[in-house]
Amino acid sequence: MRILTVLLCVATVLASRPAGAAPPCDARKVAAAARACGELLRGEGRFARDGDAMRRARRVALASDRLAREWTAAEAAAVDATCAAFSASGVDTADRLAAAVADAGASLPGSARCRGAVLGTLAPLCRRVVRSELPLLGDAPGAHDDRQLVLARVRTSLGRALPRTECGGGGPGAADVEPVLLRVAAGALGDATVRSLRALVADAGPEIGVAIEPNEVASDPVYAAALDREATSITAENVMKWGPIHPAPGTWVFGPADEVVARAESQGQRVRGHTLVWGALQLPAYVENASDADTLRAMMAEHIATVAGRYAGRIAQWDVVNEPLPGSLDPPTADGLDDNVFRRLIGPGYVAEALHLARAADPAAKLYVNENGIEVPGPRQDRFFALVQDLLAAGAPLDGVGFQAHLGLIPIGQYPDEATIAASLRRFADLGLSVELTELDVALVFRVGDLPSRLAFQGGYYRSVIAACATVPDCAGVTTWGLSDRHTWLRSFFGFTDWPLPFDDDWRRKPAYFGMRAALLEAALRGD
Ligand code: 9MR
């Protein structure tokens, strides 16, 4: 009887194991990375103390070799294609992990002796932090909470251990050390388990873009590294808009936009220009209050010639006109266009005029109109379709349509499925146009459920949105509107907390990231 009870218990436990557990090779690679991280930090600690660069380099090389061997073995043992496909460049990523650890050692304040002691203390913690990422691999509900728990424990350990190091009063405190640890751990996990999105689309597949504020990237090395690693395309979230770049007649503020373009070029990334004409927001008063059509036409001509002309040949695509339709909650207008100053003074033809001006200023750039809420079929999509047909019939130089894809928000609480999005993209592609998802984010604030289950849903949903683009041949790219939740416009613009992007506030990959990765991997395996 007792044996039966035990067997029943075992069967129950096995049956209740969480679905979607981490694939074996990912898990083994993380475990190996955790070990290596600890070892490297311990080694760093010793050699920082006695300053023996040769021994240190040898130690790093050995750890890197061993890591590469363990990853290769993990991949060889893996049975599923998904995991095997991550194998590409084991040695290179092991070297990068080793370099990240060495950088971390060098960036701590304090004397070499004190740094050495602190690094020695970090070794076991690093292991723990890296291992805590394991649940994330399987997109398991609760992964987020698990990580918070581990971090809280790490903080406590640091608080206990640091005062015992050899730093006296002047060494690093927990606040200096924690970000270093997180950075190494995130790098270790990333290198151990994940070929970046950029690597996955290297040969084929849509562009993977990110909208950025250049100052946020410049002030955060973790952001900069993630951007370089993940993105093939960059959009300026705000700094190329009329208000920021041309705030007063004759006043031009090109610095931040120049920075975006130069940075992208230095990383071999494409640039989407956003945006030349937008009647709704970030339009300076001198434009809003233009007195008549001729004055406004002259302003538009000067603006487009100057901005598009400045970057001619360096910008792959321009959102020439942004949001020509009324806001999704505004009442429709007679001609279906947003009631802005351009339409009021120049008339509905302003869209075609802007396209001609942009073509003249930069003949090489692909010219787009960009709109929200058109991912779902219905009257709004039909209005936009009619506008696009009119533009093409009138011979306007239009190359593409941008689907903003603020999903879960416009329309509120709706998450159109893969087939719906793909059909919407195809409807416009069938007119001979390119299409892109230009501002993707997935709001969760209007969705019920606890946070872990909403994040898990978001992971699967990101996968279907990316798959929708990857399966439509003319869908040239997907840009997310930011990269980490910490920078999302949903927080700054509306003031509520949301988690719409692929990385969390601490730069951990979320289920959303793994959803993107899964869709790109599927596309790569299909040979799209
Ligand atoms: O993300 C942008 C935010 O920082 C600005 O405050 C906002 C207001 O102009 O614009 C946001 O970006 C918008 C984009 O330019 C066009 N589509 C909607 C985006 C979100 O509002």
Which residue ranges make up each domain of the chain?
2-195, 199-526
Selected residue with higher pLDDT from 211 and 5: 211
User: Nearest to residue 147, comparing CAs of 177, 189, 197, 105?
Assistant: 189
pLDDT of residue 80: 46
Ligand 1 contact, 441 CB (< 6 A) = no
| Residue 1 scores a pLDDT above 90 | no
| Residue 213 scores a pLDDT above 90 | yes
Pick the CATH number of 199-526 from 3.10.520.10, 3.40.50.2300, 3.50.50.60, 3.20.20.80: 3.20.20.80
Selected residue with higher pLDDT from 257 and 100: 257
| 489 CA distance to ligand 1 middle (Å) | 7
| Residue 497 scores a pLDDT above 90 | yes
pLDDT of residue 85: 39
pLDDT of residue 175: 73
Ligand 1 contact, 480 CB (< 6 A) = no
Assign 3-class secondary structure to 38-93: HHHHHHHHHHHHHCCHHHHHHHHHHHHHHHHHHHHHHHHHCCCHHHHHHHCCHHHH
Indicate the pLDDT class of residue 4, thresholds 50, 70 and 90: very low
Ligand 1 contact, 489 CB (< 6 A) = yes
Query: CA-CA distances (angstroms) from residue 39 to 111, 171, 297?
Result: 21, 22, 66
Q: Could you tell me the two tokens for 263?
A: 């940075």
pLDDT of residue 232: 98
pLDDT of residue 142: 53
What number of other Cβ atoms are within 10 A of residue 12's Cβ?
9
Indicate the pLDDT class of residue 229, thresholds 50, 70 and 90: confident
Nearest atom of ligand 1 to the alpha carbon of 274: 15
| Residue 171 scores a pLDDT above 90 | no
Ligand 1 contact, 327 CB (< 6 A) = no
pLDDT of residue 100: 66
Instruction: Determine which residue's CA is closest to atom 10 belonging to ligand 1.
Output: 238
Contact between 441 and 488 under an 8 Å Cβ cutoff? The reply is yes
Ligand 1 contact, 282 CB (< 6 A) = yes
pLDDT of residue 92: 45
Alpha-carbon torsion (241, 391, 305, 474), positive or negative: positive
Q: Could you tell me the two tokens for 183?
A: 């950075």
- The pick from 215, 216, 238 for probing ligand 1's pocket by mutation, whose C-beta has the most ligand atoms within 8 angstroms, reads 238
Indicate the pLDDT class of residue 97, thresholds 50, 70 and 90: low
Ligand 1 contact, 322 CB (< 6 A) = yes
User: Which residues have C-beta within 8 Å of that of residue 506, sequence separation ≥ 6?
Assistant: 151, 182, 186
Indicate the pLDDT class of residue 266, thresholds 50, 70 and 90: very high
pLDDT of residue 161: 79
| 506 CA distance to ligand 1 middle (Å) | 23
Selected residue with higher pLDDT from 134 and 393: 393
Q: Could you tell me the two tokens for 195?
A: 């070929």
Nearest atom of ligand 1 to the alpha carbon of 282: 9
Nearest atom of ligand 1 to the alpha carbon of 372: 17
Q: For the chain, report the end-to-end CA distance as a whole number of angstroms.
A: 57
pLDDT of residue 203: 65
Give backbone dihedrals phi and psi of 401, rounded to 5 degrees, phi first. -125, 130
Selected residue with higher pLDDT from 252 and 181: 252
Selected residue with higher pLDDT from 29 and 297: 297
Nearest atom of ligand 1 to the alpha carbon of 280: 9
Residue type, 460: G
Ligand 1 contact, 493 CB (< 6 A) = yes
Determine the distance from the C-alpha atom of residue 92 to the mean position of all C-alpha atoms in its chain, rounded to a whole number: 23
| 274 CA distance to ligand 1 middle (Å) | 10
Catalytic residue ranges: 323, 439
pLDDT tens digits along 341-376: 999 999 999 999 999 999 999 999 999 999 999 999
Q: Alpha-carbon distance 379 to 337, whole Å?
A: 13
Mean pLDDT of 420-431: 98
| 411 CA distance to ligand 1 middle (Å) | 16
Query: CA-CA distances (angstroms) from residue 427 to 235, 320, 335, 405, 424?
Result: 25, 21, 21, 16, 5
Q: Which regions of 237-314 does DSSP assign to beta strands (E)?
A: 270-278
Considering 163-167, 200-204, 237-241, the range whose residues carry the highest mean pLDDT is 237-241
| 214 CA distance to ligand 1 middle (Å) | 15
Ligand 1 contact, 238 CB (< 6 A) = yes
Indicate the pLDDT class of residue 452, thresholds 50, 70 and 90: confident
- Range name among 42-46, 146-150, 201-205 with the lowest pLDDT average: 146-150
Instruction: Determine which residue's CA is closest to atom 21 belonging to ligand 1.
Output: 489
Indicate the pLDDT class of residue 271, thresholds 50, 70 and 90: very high
pTM for the predicted model, two decimal places: 0.71
Ligand 1 contact, 281 CB (< 6 A) = yes
**What share of the chain has pLDDT > 90, as a percent?**
52
Host H or E run for residue 439: strand 434-442
Contact between 272 and 209 under an 8 Å Cβ cutoff? The reply is yes
| 318 CA distance to ligand 1 middle (Å) | 16
Q: Alpha-carbon distance 457 to 90, whole Å?
A: 31
- The pick from 235, 489, 498, 501 for probing ligand 1's pocket by mutation, whose C-beta has the most ligand atoms within 8 angstroms, reads 489
Q: Could you tell me the two tokens for 317?
A: 């695509």
pLDDT tens digits along 98-140: 666 666 667 777 777 887 888 888 888 777 776 665 555 444 4
Selected residue with higher pLDDT from 403 and 160: 403
